[in-house]
Amino acid sequence: MDVSEAKRLKELERENAEPKRLAIWIECARLLNSHDVVRVLDQLLERRGHPAIINGHEESFNGVLRDGCLNRWAFVAVREAQLVVESWRRGYNEERPHGALNQITPAAYAAGVGHAQRAAA
């Protein structure tokens, strides 16, 4: 595959800016236009309600996604990218402890584990 072809893959990331820091959606395609962005945001709104404001946490998340996943792969096909990125997203949420969440995973924090730890302290 030509390197220039690999650079044509686009991604739309959405991290929950609330304290849970869950990676809630990553859309991969050769082209993402404004209609795609609106479609993804509408789906998120339907599934998760009104999103929190975009802030520095999302910018940090974009860097983590790029360094931890996207820069490590030369995707041959969009489907391959979708599978790899979804696997990375699950690992990010379910396996990777987060320093700002007292070293628990975002999924555990969202499930209330972080609240129980604070209450016990």
Contact status, residue 84 vs residue 100, Cβ threshold 8 Å: no
How far is the C-alpha of 22 from the C-alpha of 90, rounded, in Å? 9
Count: domains in the chain: 1
Taking only the tens place, the pLDDT of each residue in 21-56 is 777 788 888 888 888 888 888 888 888 777 655 666
Q: Which residues pair with 104 in a beta bridge?
A: 98
Task: Please state the separation of Cα 26 from the chain's center in Å.
Answer: 5
Taking only the tens place, the pLDDT of each residue in 70-98 is 888 888 888 999 999 999 999 999 999 98
Q: pTM higher than 0.85 for the full model?
A: no
Task: Please state the separation of Cα 90 from the chain's center in Å.
Answer: 9
Residue 66 belongs to domain spanning: 3-120
- In this structure, what are the phi and psi dihedrals at residue 113, rounded to the nearest 5 degrees? -60, -40
